[in-house]
Amino acid sequence: MSKAVRKYLIAGNWKMNKNAAEAVDLVKELQLEAGDQFLVSVLVCPPFTALESVAGIIEDSSIHLGAQNMHPEPSGAYTGEVSAEMLRHLFVTFVILGHSERRQYFNETDAFINTKVLAALNGSLKPIVCVGETLEEREAERTLEVVSSQVKGCLEGVPEEKADQLVIAYEPVWAIGTGKTATPEMAQEVHALIRGLLKEQFGEVMAERIRILYGGSMKPDNAYELLSQEDIDGGLIGGASLQARAFLKIMESARALSS
Ligand code: 13P
């Protein structure tokens, strides 16, 4: 089977940037150039406070809306948290889970992320499950071991019939926001490992349908090469997703590889 079964997903993780008005301005710019194309899936993940405003302006376009986190419980006494149902109510369809910043600053573990992944799937959201090694782990040649254990831990108990809703994002921690990117070969090696794990868990046909994104200083000038790798099916983009021009250029690389 080939890469052609998977549509590229170009996703912007805006992190804690842009208030609602700024978010609307950015999405309007994206919409002008990307809002009516269907060759590549385009996703924006603004902060919670901008979801509703952004949802209101992308409703007639092909741009999808994602959140950056959620709580696994459907409701209750969890101050400061939001549930899958609350997100879906705002027309959110994707949710980033287990980002390395949440692992690092909020002590999220694979087991906790796993509860969120299962809750997202139950709540009809597509989880973007983030994995990736730190610099220390890479230097100790533990990358494959660390990523394997994260993938297995985060995906435990995912029912096979829902696996095609999953997206995995490989984000080497040392490449996030640093300007250092994994070489296409380094990234492909880990993506192939992840595809292998997905095959073991869900079978070959399903594993070929699941998109695996690369994240970590993806920019217009390195996107084409990264995206041309066999198992790289898109990007989870931080810094470069905050400027319409840069984000659209990355999307153009995916489009060029799709046609
Ligand atoms: P940068 O693109 O800024 O390196 O961030 C990547 C990332 O963390 C996306 O989730």
**What DSSP string describes 133-160?**
--HHHHHTT-HHHHHHHHHHHHHTT--G
Six token digits for residue 167: 């997206």
Among protein residues, the one with the nearest Cα to ligand 1's atom 7 is: 238
CA-nearest of 29, 92, 37, 25 to 62 is 37
Of the residues 101, 108, 137, 171, which is catalytic?
Answer: 171
Structure confidence by residue, pLDDT tens digits, 26-63? 999 999 989 888 999 999 999 999 999 999 999 888 99
Q: Is 99 a catalytic residue?
A: yes
Q: Of 131, 130, 62, 49, which is closest to residue 93 (Cα–Cα)?
A: 62
Ligand 1 center from residue 13 Cα (angstroms): 7
DSSP state of 80: T
Is the model's pLDDT at 1 over the cut of 60? Answer: no
CB of 218 closer than 6 angstroms to any ligand 1 atom: yes
| Per-residue pLDDT tens digits for 196-222 | 999 999 999 999 999 999 999 999 999
From the CA of 218, give the closest atom in ligand 1. Answer: 2
Q: What is the mean pLDDT of the chain?
A: 96
| C-beta 132 within 6 A of ligand 1 | no
In this structure, the residue with its CA closest to atom 2 of ligand 1 is: 238
Tell me the one-letter amino acid at 202.
Answer: F
Q: What is the pLDDT of residue 100?
A: 97
DSSP string, 194-223: HHHHHHHHH-HHHHHHSEEEE-SS--HHHH
| Ligand 1, pocket-test mutation among 14, 17, 99, 236, most atoms within 8 A of CB | 236
Catalytic, 171? Answer: yes
Q: Quick one: average pLDDT of 7-13?
A: 98
Q: Is the CB of 31 under 6 A from ligand 1?
A: no
Q: Indicate whether this model's pTM tops 0.75.
A: yes
Please give the DSSP secondary-structure letter assigned to residue 244. H
CATH assignment, 3-258: 3.20.20.70
166 vs 250: CA distance, rounded Å: 22
Phi and psi dihedrals of 126, rounded to 5?
-95, 115
Residue 180 CB neighbour total at 10 angstroms = 12
Atom of ligand 1 nearest to the CA of 15: 10
Q: Mean per-residue pLDDT for 183-197?
A: 97
* pLDDT score of 181: 86
Mean pLDDT of 68-78: 98
- What tokens were used for 127? 């989880």
Q: What is each CA distance from 87 to 52, 58, 84, 116, 184, in whole angstroms? A: 9, 15, 5, 13, 34
Residues 6+ apart with CB under 8 A from 50: 18, 19, 20, 22, 23, 24
Mean pLDDT of 61-83: 97
- Percent share of the chain, pLDDT over 70: 100
**What whole-number distance in Å separates Cα of residue 180 and Cα of residue 134?**
13
For the Cβ of 246 lying below 6 angstroms from any atom of ligand 1, the answer is no
Torsion angle of the four alpha carbons 84, 89, 94, 97, in this order, in degrees rounded to the nearest 10: -30
pLDDT digits (tens, 9 = 90+) for 101-145: 999 999 999 999 999 999 999 999 999 999 999 999 999 999 999
Integer Cα distance of 172 and 57 in angstroms: 33
